[in-house]
Amino acid sequence: MLEEIAIENLGVIRSARVPLSDGLTVITGETGAGKTMVLTGLNLLMGAKADPQSVRPGAASAAVEGRVRVSGRDAVLERVDEAGGEVEDDGTVVILRTIADGRSRAHLGGRAVPQGVLAEIAEDLFTVHGQADQLRLRTAAKQRDALDTFVGPAHQRVLASYRAAWTERGGLLAEIADLEARGAERAREVELLRIGLEEIERVDPQSGEDAELQALIERLSNAEGLRTAATEAHEAVAGEDADGARENAIALVERARRALESAAHSDAALGALATRFAEVGYLLSDVATDVAAYVDDLQADPAGLETAHNRMAELNALTRSYGETIDEVLQWASDAGLRLLDLDDGGDRLTSMRARVAELDGELARLAEILTAERTRGATELAEAVTHELHGLAMGGAHLVVSVQPLEEPGPFGADQVTFLLVPHPGAPERPLGKGASGGELSRVMLALEVALATSGGAAAERTADTPRSTFVFDEVDAGVGGRAAVEVGRRLAQLGRSTQVVVVTHLAQVAAFADAHLVVTKSSDGDGGDAADDGMITVTGVREVTADARVRELARMLSGQDDSETARTHALELLESSVVGR
């Protein structure tokens, strides 16, 4: 809902702040006063293209600022957040359009944005009906949405179920197509995985086996050198010559121990050293025994070496293909086994998904049948409701046709194509909405549609006190009507204003009398224009709200062209009184 709009230097408007409230707000004023500039400013807030020529003569720039209540509108709030804008604590956001130096700039919630962003959020906030504006229900999709809203919440729940099933079906079909397209690729991958697993299973490598084999090969390949080294070490520690002339390390240590012990009675320190020599003797004896055992165990084994080399070759073949070490090869085998299970399951998944698609096809057909039946019923009721409204809007010979025809193939919203057709007068052919009627007639048709949609049982059931209000703007809705028909236009606008915010530019007092708020656009001359006019004067416009006697004078002016006519004032008072009774 638009709470206010401030305009500076736009067209003939030098400065104006237009407060807007709930219900019906009418904008009136003399011809040429600048009423259309208010709508131009509103269109700029909605992302319309800016005209550099619209800057007021003599001014360097123009600006339009609007404060819009967006609380409760999740889609709008999300878009504002994506754009980096800020929503005020009171749930409003400020929209700003400026025109300067031939360029236009847009700001949303304090952040510069492309004007297209304003157009996006405007779709959820505003609806403009006028001779120069496209219709709200200009497409088949919008017409279908309107009919679905009219039918009611129960119908929309069925539609939501249909949409969910359609989305699931689409996802499954895409996955099935992907699996089928990659069938040959999957088969090749399965074959390679199986070959690898069979090779690893045949070799049957053990964790760490490659390191152990490498150590064994190194030992067997150097057996003679190892034997020589161990033998020499043993002889140095415990060996002796054939004649027993050479003493070994053990014998020497033992001799040292005995020498120290023989003198230990004279100095205890020597006794301690003798004990340590005894410990060294024990250690040397153990080492000598171990070296001797090593020499005995170390045998040249050409067959064992060949076997180790052959085994190592098998392991190397695995590490060249599946990992740098045997442990990595074993990890590859584990992962490959899991992947093979997943690939082998592809056939079962395809079968399962195809079965689910068949189930969804049946569910979609059932739900589509319900949707078609409800739309067909609702189409008749909506057409009757709009036609009834048209008869009260000086279009007594017109009627609306809401056509529900089957699509060639069901789509994401069912199996129906919804089309709104207008018969403007008896004998005229049915034509798509928006063709074959004048701008004023189209505005009245749209008013009738909006009233029917806003007051239908389905739409009314969805509204609560907290339901966000949209803003409807009507321009020229009263074109070509007067008298009783004009009163009916005003009554229906007021009726629509009970559920939405309605802004109407009108020249008829019969319409203005029904307003909850009445704004008057006034003009005066300004001498600041310089060369803007031959006499140095330009017309400037202001906007003010009128109430009480000021409103009566404005209605009188609209009726007679003079605000001091007693007859017109009396008629104006009668209009105000009758509008209260007729609401």
- The tens digit of pLDDT for each residue in 114-136 reads 888 988 888 888 877 765 554 56
List the chain domain ranges.
1-136+443-459+471-546, 209-324
pLDDT tens digits along 294-351: 877 776 667 777 888 888 888 888 999 898 899 999 999 999 888 887 776 656 778 8
Q: How far apart are CA 490 and CA 485, in angstroms?
A: 9
Q: 183-203 and 302-322 are packed helices; what angle lies between their axes, rounded to 10 degrees?
A: 160
Q: How far apart are CA 387 and CA 396, in angstroms?
A: 8
pLDDT tens digits along 447-469: 888 888 877 655 444 554 455 66
- Distance (Å) of CA 479 to CA 185, 399, 461: 69, 19, 33
Q: How far apart are CA 21 and CA 534, in angstroms?
A: 41
pLDDT given for residue 582 in this prediction: 54
| Residue 489 CB neighbour total at 10 angstroms | 28
Average pLDDT of the residues in 404-420: 95
473 forms bridges with which residues in the sheet? 128, 503
Average pLDDT of the residues in 196-205: 90
pLDDT tens digits along 178-197: 877 776 777 788 888 889 89
pTM, to two decimals: 0.59
pLDDT tens digits along 133-156: 545 666 788 889 889 989 988 999
Q: Rounded mean pLDDT of the chain?
A: 83
Average pLDDT of the residues in 400-417: 95
pLDDT given for residue 439 in this prediction: 65
Average pLDDT of the residues in 59-63: 91
Cβ atoms of 220 and 308 closer than 8 Å: yes
Give the residue among 255, 256, 274 at the shortest CA–CA distance from 264.
274
H or E element in which residue 483 lies: helix 483-497
Cβ atoms of 516 and 24 closer than 8 Å: yes
In the predicted model, is pLDDT for residue 158 greater than 70? yes
Tokens for 489? 């236009």
| Highest mean pLDDT out of 52-61, 144-153, 365-374, 540-549 | 365-374
pLDDT given for residue 67 in this prediction: 92
Give the residue among 539, 532, 525 at the shortest CA–CA distance from 58.
532
DSSP letter for 55, please. Answer: B
Q: How far apart are CA 145 and CA 336, in angstroms?
A: 52
Q: Which long-range contacts (C-beta less than 8 Å, at least 24 apart) are formed by 483-487?
A: 483/510, 485/392, 485/393, 485/394, 486/510, 486/511, 487/578, 487/582
pLDDT given for residue 483 in this prediction: 77
Average pLDDT of the residues in 378-390: 92
Average pLDDT of the residues in 418-430: 88
In the predicted model, is pLDDT for residue 478 greater than 90? no
Of all residues in the chain, the percent with pLDDT exceeding 90 is 23
Query: Which band of pLDDT confidence, cut at 50, 70 and 90, is reported for residue 371?
Result: very high
pLDDT tens digits along 489-536: 888 888 888 888 898 888 889 999 999 999 998 876 655 544 444 444
Which of the pair, 388 or 189, is modelled with greater confidence?
388
pLDDT given for residue 414 in this prediction: 95
Structural domain 1-136+443-459+471-546, CATH architecture: 3-Layer(aba) Sandwich (3.40)
Angle at 297 between CA 294 and CA 298, to 5 degrees: 80
Which of the pair, 34 or 547, is modelled with greater confidence?
547
Query: Which band of pLDDT confidence, cut at 50, 70 and 90, is reported for residue 412?
Result: very high
For residue 321, the Cα-to-chain-centroid distance in whole angstroms is: 45
pLDDT given for residue 131 in this prediction: 53
pLDDT tens digits along 261-291: 887 787 888 888 888 988 988 998 888 888 8
